[in-house]
Amino acid sequence: DVKVTQSSRYLVKRTGEKVFLECVQDMDHENMFWYRQDPGLGLRLIYFSYDVKMKEKGDIPEGYSVSREKKERFSLILESASTNQTSMYLCASRGHPGGYTFGSGTRLTVV
Amino acid sequence: SQQGEEDPQALSIQEGENATMNCSYKTSINNLQWYRQNSGRGLVHLILIRSNEREKHSGRLRVTLDTSKKSSSLLITASRAADTASYFCATDAGRASGSRLTFGEGTQLTVNP
């Protein structure tokens, strides 16, 4: 079964910490995405990547960065976590021209 | 602005009834997709309908697409309690959007046993 794996289901971090959210896919997909999901706001795209070492800003990239050193791994980095980054983070990958395969999500709480 | 907007925001039905959810969008699309999300989990891809298709079936799911009205509907027939979840439509505008999907805010479906 094809999979997208997010390293943590739940995380609690302190304000100002640097936070790494990891995502790994085993489908050899070129496209990978990071979304955050908040009540009333739906899914909002943070960053995406078409290929290794390539990245594109989504709709809400401020306060985040990404890394894609290998095709299967796409990392989301919160440079200095803030309370307004408390959210559910969803990673997805996509082969063309199909749908997304999502990971199970990481619920991040910043205190 | 939201590309896909689902209607209704919440729907509560009895087991065995049909559930219909609607999605409207604003721009031209390459395809439209529906996803399901169980509480606190990731989204699961249900079905994809291309812009040149009008209707598609998958098991108890039926999706229609009307590109002239920029709308789609998802019908779940003979619903079960296990169908309780949030359902999202997502639009793919093709190369114009870099093949990224834009999601609506979802419809929360509750199927009562």
CATH of the domain at B13: 2.60.40.10
We report the CATH number of the domain holding residue A92 as 2.60.40.10
Total domains present in chain A:
1
Range of the domain at B99: 5-112
Q: How many CA atoms lie within 13 A of B10 on its CB side?
A: 3
The tally of domains found in chain B comes to: 1
What residues make up the domain containing A49?
4-110
Residue A105 Cα, gap to closest chain B Cα (Å):
5
Tens of pLDDT along chain B (113 residues)?
Answer: 335 678 888 999 999 999 999 999 998 999 999 999 999 889 999 999 999 999 999 999 999 999 999 999 999 999 999 999 999 999 988 766 666 888 988 999 999 99
Distance from the B103 Cα atom to the nearest Cα atom in chain A, whole angstroms: 6
Contacts of A82 (CB under 8 A, 6+ apart): A15, A63, A110
Contact at CB, B35 and A104, closer than 8 angstroms: no
Q: Which of A56, A90, A94 sits opposite B42 (nearest CB)?
A: A90
Compute CA B56 distance to the chain's CA centroid, rounded to the nearest angstrom. 12
Query: By the CB < 8 Å criterion, does B88 face chain A?
Result: yes
Question: Six-digit token pair at B96?
Answer: 């114009």
